[in-house]
Structure 1
């Protein structure tokens, strides 16, 4: 046996790197009569099955078919190899054959964990229960590795209660047992049960803590994720990435960015998901300087843009920060390695900048290169048509989506069509989409109808849509506010009062308009007409007065219909002057160099008066203004806006 195990032909197996080399070694084994020995055959089968060499598993099967009396190790290697594939049904077939050839005393039990894994992947509940029964009859029940495999199998089945029953009855549990059960609860959305089990754990490791940070983040319990993070003495890259992602998912982009900088200061190299999360945070903030810094970090560290969708995230970040040219440059720089996410990000980026024709050109290029679009591609295309007022094109792409590409439209695609018709003033067509789509209309669908009713003055349709939206989301203030605005525009002040009373009774508070900008590395926010940094307030208010006075000389007339309060005109004009975007413009005129554009991020849709105001400022002060509101980008230059009055 020693001579065989040290034979140079057997020893060289571990250095094999391709199927071609494997065939050569196999041929040499045949020539030297080594295949007559069980040890050699076992080594060959095990290497083919478990090494990861491309085509190795199929080759192992062909060798196996010629073995008359395979031992348990040969079966084990093949069963394990197939259990790690996407369709492990062969593992169950081999296990059944092994049971008919061998008994448990021959080492059959070593294959049990792989068989349980295969059952879980195949959702083979009955077969899994049979293997569970076999385990209960043997000493394997005392093996935590087997017990953990059973827990994971029932979790794969979606049988979380059965998994917990196995867990509770396991005679020996290790940290993996606890982690598996916690992961199962998190997968099932049972955050409270996962939290209870986490608190009961006799010993925690990185896996359990990372899982809880990720779970808390996904369910909106960011404060609990922070608590776990802060109590950990040892953290790895996954820990930091999970916490950063939790901040991003819970709309705390500044915290995500600060934590990322802290991570770098400790000398940790971020992985792809961490970089993508931080780019998403920067996109939410709209502060391009932070994005350029991270882009430079990626370049300096030679991190591939195609790795982990970093390229897509960079395109998305530049687009949402108002730098569509930079986004396009990134897109073109990864020409030979683009994935579908890169194309989708570019189309969506052009859409929010109102560059509808350019977005459609990208799609045509995509088709010409035989790149198969997916459902996200069509969301971007339909959004492009909606923002650009391209009704016929939107209808064409919606039809080609399921007729040409066989993609079944989801509710989001129908929502885009509702928005497309609504923005164009075709409310009856929008309602027709709602009536004919194969789902119940969701909140976004009714809010699209409501917004269109507000824009085009359809009071009764707006009222009906608002009531449906409020029924679906009684705590969402925007539906109440839009309905109140519809009534106010029609002068129905009694109805306005009723809506506001309803909001007070239900404890629903209106979201205040907030505009923010990054100047000299510092974030400045303007809320309810009052700059949060009071040291600038007097200066900003004086600048607004100066700007308004100068614009009036150029024909500016404040649009008092935008103040939806039953007060005197003088009071309305004063309130208009305190809109957050006007405060931000005044601050930018004071503190931003004349050669640089003024970038503003607004949390709500810009009103008609502020839109007109910014166009005039861009002309009178010869300044470029780029503003991102709730829906899209507005590029103001020389008295014009890129939206072409369509927003």
Structure 2
């Protein structure tokens, strides 16, 4: 048919192709298609293939398929174009059908190698293991294994199935391996958690590229092996932004925020421009540290580079950073500033931020705004809402949220959601109701659920429930010191000192160390850390203790009486008062009063829950010294001002 085309027909083909290349809309495409039908150009394989290609570029795959079915003798290139597009679409199964059709229609299999990587990828996406093996068998019968693109696609397909053994066998049988082959298998091993096998392969590689180093750094980071990630980082002669980002992320993921921040600074000094993932990671590190000045600098950098519009994650990270640094107003300002480009992650960050500041009512109002804008909440939204209700003592509202997440939004609660509702009920004193939820969960309760019961039992002085919860928690997490400490505290509150001694003896036998309370404060760009009775930098200890004595004396004139029930040790009254007076948050406060200007707010971060005596102490200091004090403890924020706390004494 095509051989009979005259020179004028060839001119028509050229004109049609030229017009197609200038085509911009679907409607224009349909007009050109109609004209090609009238002039019989659709029977020209070259012209038809261009029409199919343009349909694929515009995403109109149904139209592309309808054109394809009218081509009398489609060539391998047309098949490749369609197979490749359907592989990346929501209907990858069509790629497999087209591949099967191609094998039956082509006189020989010449040219099918271009489509094979896409077909193998489609099989991987569909989890079509048997079909993938059949394609692999066809490849083995030909010499196509010598094509590195095809051979590498076989390895990647098996890795997509999670079949690491099959991938390794395919890798071992490859006639030639390039760096992509090695990197594919290393990445597959890392994804499967086979860290040692990945390292063995990495060490065997005849040559490595940046992908090799970045994959290993990222893999080690995800599995908590920061020292090994550092080793690989040091081995890389050349580093790109992903290398730096992978190492920063490894530090953040494994709770080394200071190292992450230091590495980010080093990266900037070397002139490496951070990408969005690097900025999100470093904002997460700043959020962990709890000090905002570096975060404000990052925010300014992001605004200067106008990166907010390039990724939805930066806005969420900024909101989260400001909220966790105690600046909820700044978080809300960022939230408002991205009003035209918000995603569900931004709403979740804002709701969770309000939750940790005890602003439960405001979090619920924000959720209602979210519903009004028809933004579909997800499971993280409800974790934030349930946490907000828990911190605010909003029991009825929390029950309602737990109900609608299932009935209205068809979200199946996970163990974390059950943990939140258990925490909500037990904090409010509904211990039996909380136990009922725990017993009726569709899966075994985790240690956090039992610890919520345990902590509330301590607060509400229910020894029986608390003792059982502690024993359950210890069985699930025998190395978690907080379970033993809370059980010991329950016994101490009721004067059961023999049982206190038994708990401590068990901790000693199991080599479980108690996490020491520490508090930190940022003054003039430097973080100062305090533990009970001393500063980590000991040159400040005497100064701080002296100031603390002055503060306690002044507060006693205002009616302060130390809450000796917070000292759960069998010591005399004088000893209890002495121990109370040097809690780490009080040490940090005294340092802040001495080293910041009069009237300046004081921000403190504590690694454990603030005790009731320190809470009363902070309220009184905020009034007597006219200071705004913000403390972030293990669970939430406390904003002390004019003798009151934002938590309304519910925490």
Q: TM-score range by the shorter chain?
A: over 0.9
Give me the whole-angstrom Cα distance separating, in 1, the residues matched to 2:293 and 2:33: 59
2:534 match: 530
Equivalent of 2:469 in 465, 468, 475 = 465
Shift of 1:511: 0.6
1:646 match: 650
Matches within 5 A, 1:99-138: 99-138=103-142
Matches within 5 A, 1:240-389: 240-304=244-308, 307-389=311-393
Matches within 5 A, 1:195-206: 195-206=199-210
What are the Cα deviations for residues 564-610 of structure 1, in whole angstroms up to 9, with x where unaligned? 21112212211112210010000000011122110000000001111
More off after superposition, 227-236 vs 436-445: 227-236
1:98 match: 102
Give me the whole-angstrom Cα distance separating, in 2, the residues matched to 1:342 and 1:109: 44
Equivalent of 1:215 in 214, 219, 240 = 219
SS at match of 2:58: coil
Decide whether the 8 Å contact of 1:378 with 1:413 is kept in 2.
Answer: yes
User: Does residue 613 of the first structure (1) align with residue 617 of the second (2)?
Assistant: yes
User: Does residue 600 of the first structure (1) align with residue 604 of the second (2)?
Assistant: yes
Give me the whole-angstrom Cα distance separating, in 2, the residues matched to 1:458 and 1:295: 47
1:39 match: 46
Shift of 1:260: 1.6
Give me the whole-angstrom Cα distance separating, in 2, the residues matched to 1:243 and 1:88: 35
Matches within 5 A, 1:17-96: 17-27=24-34, 29-30=36-37, 34-49=41-56, 52-55=57-60, 57-96=61-100
TM-score by length of structure 2 reads: 0.96
Equivalent of 2:491 in 483, 487, 491 = 487
Give me the whole-angstrom Cα distance separating, in 2, the residues matched to 1:644 and 1:74: 69
Shift of 1:103: 4.1
Shift of 1:213: 1.0
What are the Cα deviations for residues 226-255 of structure 1, in whole angstroms up to 9, with x where unaligned? 111122122222111111111110111111
Decide whether the 8 Å contact of 1:19 with 1:54 is kept in 2.
Answer: no
Shift of 1:522: 0.5
More off after superposition, 34-43 vs 192-201: 34-43
What are the Cα deviations for residues 493-521 of structure 1, in whole angstroms up to 9, with x where unaligned? 11111111111111111111110111100
SS at match of 2:640: strand
More off after superposition, 159-168 vs 27-36: 27-36
What are the Cα deviations for residues 99-154 of structure 1, in whole angstroms up to 9, with x where unaligned? 11124443233322211111111011111111111111111122222121111111
Decide whether the 8 Å contact of 2:103 with 2:109 is kept in 1.
Answer: no
Decide whether the 8 Å contact of 1:272 with 1:308 is kept in 2.
Answer: no
Equivalent of 1:185 in 184, 189, 193 = 189
Decide whether the 8 Å contact of 1:5 with 1:40 is kept in 2.
Answer: no
SS at match of 2:630: strand
Shift of 1:31: 5.7
Shift of 1:78: 1.1
SS at match of 1:572: helix
Give me the whole-angstrom Cα distance separating, in 2, the residues matched to 1:193 and 1:103: 44
Shift of 1:13: 4.2
What are the Cα deviations for residues 61-112 of structure 1, in whole angstroms up to 9, with x where unaligned? 1210111221222112211121122330001111111111124443233322
Give me the whole-angstrom Cα distance separating, in 2, the residues matched to 1:506 and 1:156: 42
What are the Cα deviations for residues 188-219 of structure 1, in whole angstroms up to 9, with x where unaligned? 12112112211111111111111111111111
What are the Cα deviations for residues 436-472 of structure 1, in whole angstroms up to 9, with x where unaligned? 1101000110110110111111112111111111111
CA distance 1:17–1:222, shift in 2 (3 Å):
farther
Decide whether the 8 Å contact of 1:244 with 1:256 is kept in 2.
Answer: yes
Decide whether the 8 Å contact of 1:88 with 1:118 is kept in 2.
Answer: yes
1:10 match: 17
Equivalent of 2:413 in 401, 406, 409 = 409
Decide whether the 8 Å contact of 2:45 with 2:71 is kept in 1.
Answer: no
Give me the whole-angstrom Cα distance separating, in 1, the residues matched to 2:416 and 2:502: 32
Give me the whole-angstrom Cα distance separating, in 2, the residues matched to 1:505 and 1:11: 82
Equivalent of 1:565 in 554, 563, 569 = 569
SS at match of 1:335: coil
Give me the whole-angstrom Cα distance separating, in 1, the residues matched to 2:113 and 2:644: 76
Shift of 1:27: 4.7
Decide whether the 8 Å contact of 1:18 with 1:54 is kept in 2.
Answer: no
Decide whether the 8 Å contact of 1:5 with 1:11 is kept in 2.
Answer: no
Query: How much is the aligned-residue C-alpha RMSD, in angstroms?
Result: 1.8
CA distance 1:199–1:15, shift in 2 (3 Å):
farther
Decide whether the 8 Å contact of 2:312 with 2:343 is kept in 1.
Answer: no
Instruction: Note the residue ranges of structure 2 that are not aligned, 5 or more in a row.
Output: none
Decide whether the 8 Å contact of 1:87 with 1:122 is kept in 2.
Answer: no
More off after superposition, 98-107 vs 312-321: 98-107
Equivalent of 1:159 in 155, 159, 163 = 163
CA distance 1:273–1:17, shift in 2 (3 Å):
farther
Give me the whole-angstrom Cα distance separating, in 2, the residues matched to 1:308 and 1:381: 21
TM-score by length of structure 1 reads: 0.96
Decide whether the 8 Å contact of 1:151 with 1:181 is kept in 2.
Answer: yes
Shift of 1:332: 1.2
SS at match of 1:69: coil
Decide whether the 8 Å contact of 1:598 with 1:626 is kept in 2.
Answer: yes
SS at match of 1:7: helix
Shift of 1:264: 2.2
2:441 match: 437
Shift of 1:635: 0.6
User: Does residue 399 of the first structure (1) align with residue 406 of the second (2)?
Assistant: no
Give me the whole-angstrom Cα distance separating, in 2, the residues matched to 1:212 and 1:308: 27
